[in-house]
Amino acid sequence: MAILLLGASAAATAQQADAKAGAAAADTATSAKPAAPQAAMATVEVKGDYDPRSEDTASKTVLSHQEIMKYGDTNVYDVLKRAPGVTVVGNSIRMRGLGNGYTQVLVNGERPPPGFSIDNLTPDQIEKIEVVRAATAEHSMQAIAGSINIVLSKVVAKAQRDLRMNVNHTAYQDNQFVIGTLADRSGALSYYLNAMMYRNVSNTPGYSTDQLTTPDGQVTQLRDSVSHRIWRNRGLGMQPRLNWKMANDDQLNVSGFVQVGRSSGSGDTAYTDRIGVFSVPDYVSRHNDDDNHSHFVGGDVNWIAKLWGGKLDAKAGLATGSNDGNGRSLSSSADGALHLRRDNDTGTTFKHYNSSGKYARTLFEGHALAAGWEVSRQQFTNDIVRVEGLLGAEPARIAENFTPRVTKLAAYAQDEWNLTKQWSVYLGARWEGIRTDSSGTGLLDTESRSHVLSPVAQTLYKFPDKSGRQLRLALTRTYKAPDPNDLSARRSYADVNTRFNPDWRGNPNLRPELATGVDLAYERFWSTGAMYSVSASARHITDYMRRMLVQDSGGYWLNEPVNDGSAQVRSLDFELKFPLKAVLKDAPPLDLRANLSRNWSQVATVPGPNNRLDQQVPLTAVLGADYKADQFSTGASFSYRGGGPVRISEQQSAYLQLHRELEAYLLYKLGKGVQLRVTGSNLLGEDNRGYSRYQDAKGSSESWSLNPSGRRVQLSLELKL
């Protein structure tokens, strides 16, 4: 709150005492803008002090490489939890509080192929991260909440030989990372290689309570469980890239990815029935062993050439990978008389082919046209062998095969026009078609087709008084496509079917969700490195998809997806950042930042209150400060994630946990090219808690869970060789 009050005072001071500084900043930005900018929609190489946040017609926040590396993070999720307008819950990246496919995550402007793991992208290899609030035709329109575009380093400006050794520890987990970068340029050829090795060991307890209550309030079943899980994983990731500068400023880029991982673990769960029993026979203990290994190999060739007075940017890629897992579980009854064995051997392979391109041309000063295409083909092959039965009896051996195939086509066109020095307009349209075919053992072949035409319009108006003030407006039509697994009639069976552990099945008749949206923003760039913004948005969603918990004709509990009516989403965002010197001339080199996102949503077919979409996070706030001196730099960040009750359906509800996190870092330069970084996170020591409820005419079932987390301390030795 202190930072917010200081920010308000700073803004007022800037409008009065520093008006000339604001005008100078506005003049600098205006003079730096290219004569024919192609904004977020066209990839251009811009020199000088061009700031995409203030100059691009499309609204986006850009995290630079320096900001990304500030806290010594080893994964993208930790970086994004401090980004304005972004909430991270576990490994779910959310904008407007929405994940689960509503927020689109891109790598170099494209959706990653199957088998590719965002977890293995290290911050060291990321040039910048773009948080795009309103969709553009150039990128997929599967971005109802917005897009996160992770742009990897490609062109090498100078030699780079970096090595980072990182260890972090909590009461329940130990991790080690070694990350290295080797890059250089020789004439027209430059190369870049980033490699990472990691090893993680976790030793995690868990606690839960399940309860069933009759309509008159009598508890008929009550069970506690205590679990303990040991998990080990290790892996290697490599990202080589080559860049050739050719005649006429043409370029040829070759990029690759290699990811290899191996994980194994075991777990034990003990159930204590305090009232009644939950299944017949009643299995009160379970032991499981798991072993998994995966690999992913992919690459693409990118050609950039000047043709016919414009620029062609074309790419072709190929990726393949596999994920093989073995699971063994043994459940025992209370008296040890019965032992249920269930084994799963799973082998999954992925293949992905894609081609994309864009041609952009400037018609005249301040007027740029672009058109492009995307084609991709994905195929999954999933083979499962299940062995299950009671020990002492002949087990059943069940072999299954499942093969979904996804073909995507897209074409788009866009036009950006600087009508005046203060006013620019962007118009675009994108057509996307998706066909999903699936077949499998004992299943009818299914086919699902969908296509969406998405127009988009955005405009940016700069106030003529050179104060750095500007307005943005965007009108969009976006969508969310069903996951391929949700489109098949395949059924996955729970070992012991209960309300708390149902079977799972897809739905071949699912339709994509469609959303019509509007975004409005006011921004003020009032001094060098200082700005604040207020933005509001709304989305109207039709054919809303949600998962329903039902009982089938045999009385078994089943979780399946359905289209169910419409939903409304609204959000209000505030961002402020400035160096303290923008307010106090003799202030220390302290940078302050704050951002807040307030989100609302309502699902029409779910009775309220609290009928929020996708268990939407209602409030996210981040306060931060960074100090930089010659020998060291330090900073701290506090984030708040709101919670509260959520109504998922007429019968289902849950409680979203409120979460607070405090983190801090200290970077000390030990010598030339050598520095030590110490980071502390989750310093408040908050654990992860969960609650869910299902209520119908037969009564209510409730479940509580607790998973300890613990404070984390991280040491990182960084070398520039």
φ and ψ at residue 642, rounded to 5 degrees: -70, 165
pLDDT for 187 equals 87
Distance CA 144, CA 614 (A): 13
CA proximity to 67, closest of 626, 670, 527:
626
DSSP letters for 683-701: TT-PPEEEEEEEEETTEEE
pLDDT for 43 equals 40
Question: Over the stretch 449-468, which tens digit does the pLDDT of each residue have?
Answer: 999 999 999 999 999 988 89
On average, the pLDDT of the chain sits at: 88
Query: Could you give the count of Cα atoms lying within 13 Å of 221 in the half-sphere of its Cβ?
Result: 16
Give whichever of 36-45, 156-165, 470-479 has the largest mean pLDDT.
470-479
pLDDT for 470 equals 96
pLDDT for 455 equals 97
The answer, yes or no, to whether residue 125 has pLDDT greater than 90, is no
CA proximity to 22, closest of 371, 610, 572, 532:
532
The answer, yes or no, to whether residue 27 has pLDDT greater than 60, is no
Q: What is the pTM of this model?
A: 0.85
Query: Could you give the count of Cα atoms lying within 13 Å of 640 in the half-sphere of its Cβ?
Result: 12
* Cβ contacts of 120 within 8 Å, gap of 6 or more: 196, 235, 237, 259, 261
Residues recorded for the chain: 721
What the block records as the tokens of 576 is 């402020």
The answer, yes or no, to whether residue 22 has pLDDT greater than 60, is no
pLDDT for 9 equals 41
The H or E element containing residue 53 is helix 52-55
The pLDDT confidence band at residue 23, using thresholds 50, 70 and 90, is: very low
* Encoded amino acid at 505, one letter: R
* Cβ contacts of 554 within 8 Å, gap of 6 or more: none
**Hey, what domains does the chain have and what are their CATH numbers?**
2-720 (2.40.170.20)
Judged on CB neighbours under 10 Å (0-12, 13-18, 19+), 686 is middle
Question: Over the stretch 32-82, which tens digit does the pLDDT of each residue have?
Answer: 333 333 333 344 444 446 677 788 887 788 998 888 988 888 889 999 989
Distance CA 588, CA 575 (A): 22
Question: Which residue(s) pair with 333 in the sheet?
Answer: 283
Distance CA 206, CA 227 (A): 5
The pLDDT confidence band at residue 24, using thresholds 50, 70 and 90, is: very low
pLDDT for 348 equals 94
Give whichever of 46-50, 132-136, 227-231 has the largest mean pLDDT.
227-231
Torsion of CA 143, 145, 148, 149, to 10 degrees: 30
**37-41, 177-181, 274-278, 554-558: the lowest-pLDDT one:** 37-41
Instruction: Tell me if residue 28 falls in helix, strand or coil.
Output: helix
pLDDT for 438 equals 87
Helix, strand and coil content of the chain, in percent to the nearest 5, comes to 10, 65, 25
Judged on CB neighbours under 10 Å (0-12, 13-18, 19+), 433 is middle
Distance CA 126, CA 148 (A): 13
Question: What is the rounded radius of gyration, in angstroms, for the C-alpha atoms of the chain?
Answer: 27
pLDDT for 49 equals 61
Whether residue 21 contacts residue 527, with contact meaning beta carbons closer than 8 Å, is answered with yes
pLDDT for 15 equals 40
The pLDDT confidence band at residue 490, using thresholds 50, 70 and 90, is: confident
CA angle (464, 465, 471) in 5-degree steps: 55
- Rounded mean pLDDT, 256-270: 96
The answer, yes or no, to whether residue 232 has pLDDT greater than 80, is yes
More confident residue, 115 or 182: 182
SS (H, E, C) 389-424: EECCCCCEEEEEEEEEEEEEEEEEEEEEEECCCCEE
What the block records as the tokens of 390 is 């009671």
pLDDT for 8 equals 41
The pLDDT confidence band at residue 598, using thresholds 50, 70 and 90, is: very high
The H or E element containing residue 99 is none
DSSP letters for 209-246: EEEEE-TTS-EEEEEEEEEEEEEEEEEEEEEEEEEEE-
What the block records as the tokens of 14 is 């800037």
- Rounded mean pLDDT, 158-168: 92
pLDDT for 591 equals 95
Helix residue spans in 523-616 (DSSP H): none
More confident residue, 227 or 4: 227
Q: Cis peptide leading into 281, omega within 30 of 0?
A: yes
DSSP state for residue 110 in the 8-state scheme: B
Question: Over the stretch 681-717, which tens digit does the pLDDT of each residue have?
Answer: 999 999 999 999 999 888 999 999 999 999 999 999 9
Q: Cis peptide leading into 579, omega within 30 of 0?
A: no
Query: Which residue in the block uniquely carries the two structure tokens 């795009």?
Result: 132
pLDDT for 4 equals 38
Torsion of CA 645, 650, 652, 656, to 10 degrees: -20
Instruction: Order the strands of the 545-551 sheet from edge to edge.
Output: 491-492, 503-505, 557-563, 545-551
Distance CA 597, CA 542 (A): 24
What sign does the dihedral 135-139-143-144 (CA atoms) show? positive
- Rounded mean pLDDT, 332-340: 86
pLDDT for 617 equals 95
CA proximity to 122, closest of 150, 149, 94:
150
* Encoded amino acid at 61, one letter: T
Whether residue 139 contacts residue 106, with contact meaning beta carbons closer than 8 Å, is answered with yes
- Rounded mean pLDDT, 557-577: 94
**285-299, 306-320, 388-402: the lowest-pLDDT one:** 388-402
Angle between helices 19-32 and 2-16 (to 10 degrees): 90
* Cβ contacts of 602 within 8 Å, gap of 6 or more: 567, 568, 608, 611, 612, 613
Give Cα 26 to chain centroid, integer Å: 33
Whether residue 329 contacts residue 495, with contact meaning beta carbons closer than 8 Å, is answered with yes
More confident residue, 294 or 41: 294
Give Cα 553 to chain centroid, integer Å: 38
The answer, yes or no, to whether residue 119 has pLDDT greater than 50, is yes
Question: Over the stretch 657-688, which tens digit does the pLDDT of each residue have?
Answer: 999 999 999 999 999 999 999 999 999 999 99
Query: Could you give the count of Cα atoms lying within 13 Å of 365 in the half-sphere of its Cβ?
Result: 5
